[in-house]
Every structure is written in structure tokens, then in C-alpha cells.
A and B are shown apart, each in its own frame.
Chain A
Amino acid sequence: DSGVTQTPKHLITATGQRVTLRCSPRSGDLSVYWYQQSLDQGLQFLIQYYNGEERAKGNILERFSAQQFPDLHSELNLSSLELGDSALYFCASSLTGDSGNTIYFGEGSWLTVV
């Protein structure tokens, strides 16, 4: 158990809908990351937050947004969902978010868009 908690574990929704994925980082970690794992793209970095502020952005679509709240939990919002958004979405956390920190991953949220 990495200490990173993600909900829901599984989610099935229809195209055009909006979903919210939630993540609680490890106790004491200030930085949260979101990654997407799909069959065709592999593991891709989406976005990183540190203590409530966005710090790094990767291949995140404009239809996706995220935030980190004062209690350090984070949410990833996916809107206008398309079939291609079906993937495993990982949340991860690290102590300060600096390069060289060990990053711990949750078990992921499986999203299926039908």
C-alpha cells in the first residue's frame, strides 16, 4: 500500500459526460501528480500540483482540468468525454515535488467511456 488513495476504482460513463476523479496523497506529501495509462499512449504525465498550485503540465487535454485543495487532496475533472478517454488514471504524490523526489502511485481509477 503506497498510501495514495484514489476513488472511484472503476467508473463507466457515456460519451459527452463529465466525471471527477479524486485523490488523497500520502500523509505529509505536498505534491500531487496525475498520469494517464492507455493501451496506445502508454503512461503519460498529465499535470502536477504543489501545495495547491499548478507546477508542471504535460499532455493534458483542454477538456481536462485538475486542482489541489487546501487539505492537499486533488481532483481531476474530465469533461465532454470521448471513447478515447477510456484509460487508467493514476494519481501519485511526493514530498515536495522536486526533481529527485520518490513518487508514489495510487492504484488508479479505471475509466470506461461507452
Chain B
Amino acid sequence: AQSVTQPDIHITVSEGASLELRCNYSYGATPYLFWYVQSPGQGLQLLLKYFSGDTLVQGIKGFEAEFKRSQSSFNLRKPSVHWSDAAEYFCAVGVTTDSWGKLQFGAGTQVVVTP
């Protein structure tokens, strides 16, 4: 069965600094990969997704993620963090061999942005 690991439960970053959130997956083939963000009291908003092709994916709000097959990773990055980026971030995997598109989520990484 596939699994998703987000090694960092909590990250604190200064406003204006760069941010990288790690995501590792375990799956026999290349899965579909997603990053979602959950702001306090809000639902899950899709930041970006990887299905195939270019391994560097651009998303909304200035985020990007890079798929690395050799490392089974899909890390999320942002060059310069804004205070509004404080939220919880979830990596998710969709199974490519499954006919139906349910997602498996990582445990999430809480991002705190300091002035």
C-alpha cells in the first residue's frame, strides 16, 4: 500500500526567508502528487499538482514543487515567505493504477511565519 511521509511536523520561518517542505512517498509506480494548504479555520486549497511531464511544477501563491523519482520525493518550495503563508500544508498521493481518484494524505506540516 502507498504511504506519504511529511518528516517535519512544524517549521518556523522568518518573513522573507525561503521555505522548503519535504514530502516522501512510498509506491510501486509514479503516483499523482498534490500539495494542499489549510489556513486556520479554512478548507483545503490546492496549491499544485504533478501528473507527468516536467518535474518542476508551478503552483499558486508563488509555490513550486519538484518531483524526484530517484528520491521518491515531492518537496514544496517558496523563495520568499509572506506572513499570510502561515498555515498547515499537506502532501497527498493519488494512486495511478486505481480507477478511482481517492487521495492519501501526509500528516501535514505546520508553518509558522515570524516577523
Contacts and interface: CB of A to CB of B under 8 A. Distances in A.
Contact-residue bracket for chain A: 20 to 34
Nearest to B44: A105
If over half of A's interface residues share one DSSP class (helix, strand or loop), that class is named, otherwise mixed; here it is strand
A57 to B, nearest CB: 9
Interface string A46-68: 00101000011010000000000
Contacts of B98: 56, 99
Given A42-B107, A105-B36, A97 B101 contact: yes
Interface residues of B, number: 26
A80 interface: no
Nearest to B90: A43
B108 A42 contact: yes
B94 A55 contact: no
A100 B46 contact: no
A106 B38 CA distance: 11
A99 B94 contact: yes
Interface string B16-56: 00000000000000001010100000111110010100000
Interface of A: 2, 4, 31, 33, 42-45, 48, 50, 55-56, 58, 90, 92, 94, 97-108
Given A99-B94, A103-B34, A104-B46, 8 more contacts: A42-B106, A43-B90, A55-B100, A97-B100, A98-B101, A99-B100, A103-B103, A105-B45
